[in-house]
Structure 1
Amino acid sequence: MMMERGILFDMDNTLLQSNINFKKMRADIAEYVKKHGITNGVDESLTSGQIIELVREKGMTSLEEKLWEIAAHHETEGMNGAVLEDGALSMLQQLKSQDIKLAVVTNNAYEAGKRALIENNIFHFFDEVIGREGMEALKPSPSGLLYVIKKFPNILWLMVGDSWIDGKAATAANIPFIGYQKDVSFYNAHGIKPKAVISRLQELDQFI
């Protein structure tokens, strides 16, 4: 019996052309935690999410809440007017016509992600959308991916995303990863060996 197939998508700069300034978000979050006396372990290798996870581990709930507010501000600002990546709509229509399970796993807040997907008329294509509230830990943790895999068992999944954190999450979840609009050397530099790297979403049909 042939197994069903499924694709997990990152959202920002994979399905939607996001204007979120991730560098500024990270800088604001790092500056805020340092002002509150946390400097140990906050180095340039950490993402915004990893810095917040560090604060969570220290049990600093009020500080964590403030950091999520900073992140949410950048997300809301950056997702305003977000438009589809070229070829996203036709790709999703084609995949859905093949009865392929589709899911989004984003480090953004669920409501911000849902709103952006609805505004671009693609929310209905997805069987599951996971925002950060649905994860135990943000990508590069595989938590969100594993949630979807558990909810929809007996499906051959693969992950598509532009960032190294997507590749790390896919690797940890033991599913193939396809990089989007980055050179393979970018992923290799982070210890990721993608199944493939594509420059256009329409190229996905080669791997289904």
Structure 2
Amino acid sequence: MTALSHLKGIIFDMDGTLVDSGLDFTAMRAEMGLRPGIPILEQLAELSQADRAAKEVILHRHELEGAKRASLIDGADRLLQALAREGRPMAIVTRNSTENTRRTLKFLNIGHYFDIVICRDDGPHKPDPWAILEICRRWQMTVDEVVMVGDYELDIQSALNAGCPSVLFTEGKNPATVEGNEHATHSATHFDELYHLLAPREDSI
């Protein structure tokens, strides 16, 4: 049995974890006139309704362009297939919009893998634990029966806030270079590591 194969449900972030949309958040913040290094959604929440609406047009344009060029991160399809064969439910929690999330999942033909998809339009977004707790409620599982997999500090913080295990996926980067890495219960630098952490009990990559 692998380290997390006993867990019943798997929750994934989308961009940077399963999907590469090529989103340049630094460029997005610059075009919107936002402060560098601070998450976009948090900065938008500070603005007046009119100013926020104008900047959201820019945000949606970048996200739409990302959905059109999206590709699966190497190894993601094999992991999703393995988890599906085991019958373990999977969900996505993303700070992307519902529209662009649906476009991306449809374009890549992976939407059928996920029982639940929660986007920023659905409720409080990461690092708030609401989405993880809502998924647990729908699956009728406790938080220690699921794991959150993501590539960013906000993914790991949401898991910490919910009280569930987490995997920091870095796609080749040293996990120590990712802010908040110390809060992750596990880390994986490549999908083969993530594969062996999460899924197949006897299979090998």
TM range (shorter): 0.7 to 0.9
Selected match of 1:109 from 77, 81, 97: 97
**2:15 is aligned with 1:16:** no
What residue number does 1:40 align with? none
Q: What is the root-mean-square deviation in Å for CA atoms of aligned residues?
A: 2.0
1:55-100 Cα offsets, whole Å, 9 max, x none, are: 3xxxx22222222222111111222221111111111010011111
CA separation in 2, counterparts of 1:178 and 1:4? 13
Structure 2 length normalisation: TM-score? Answer: 0.83
**2:37 is aligned with 1:50:** no
Selected match of 2:169 from 180, 183, 186: 180
Q: Sort the Cα spacing of 1:131 and 1:184 in 2 relative to 1 into closer, same or farther, 3 A.
A: same
| 1:1-208 aligned within 5 A | 5-29=8-32, 31=33, 44-55=36-47, 60-136=48-124, 138-155=125-142, 156-181=145-170, 182-187=173-178, 189-190=179-180, 192-204=182-194, 205-208=196-199
CA contact (8 A) 2:175 2:181 kept: no
Quick one: percent identity of the two aligned structures?
A: 30
CA contact (8 A) 1:184 1:194 kept: no
Number of residues paired by the alignment? Answer: 189
CA separation in 2, counterparts of 1:6 and 1:144? 14
Q: Which runs of 4+ in 1 moved over 4 A?
A: none
Aligned residue identity for 1:49: L
Give the C-alpha shift of residue 135 in structure 1: 2.0
CA separation in 1, counterparts of 2:106 and 2:159? 26
Aligned residue identity for 1:206: L
Secondary structure in 2 matching 1:20: coil
Structure 1 length normalisation: TM-score? Answer: 0.82
Structure 2 portions without partners, runs of 5+: 1-5, 200-205
Q: Sort the Cα spacing of 1:142 and 1:54 in 2 relative to 1 into closer, same or farther, 3 A.
A: farther
Secondary structure in 2 matching 1:134: coil
Give the C-alpha shift of residue 45 in structure 1: 4.6
CA contact (8 A) 1:21 1:78 kept: no
Secondary structure in 1 matching 2:140: coil
Give the C-alpha shift of residue 44 in structure 1: 4.1
Secondary structure in 1 matching 2:146: strand
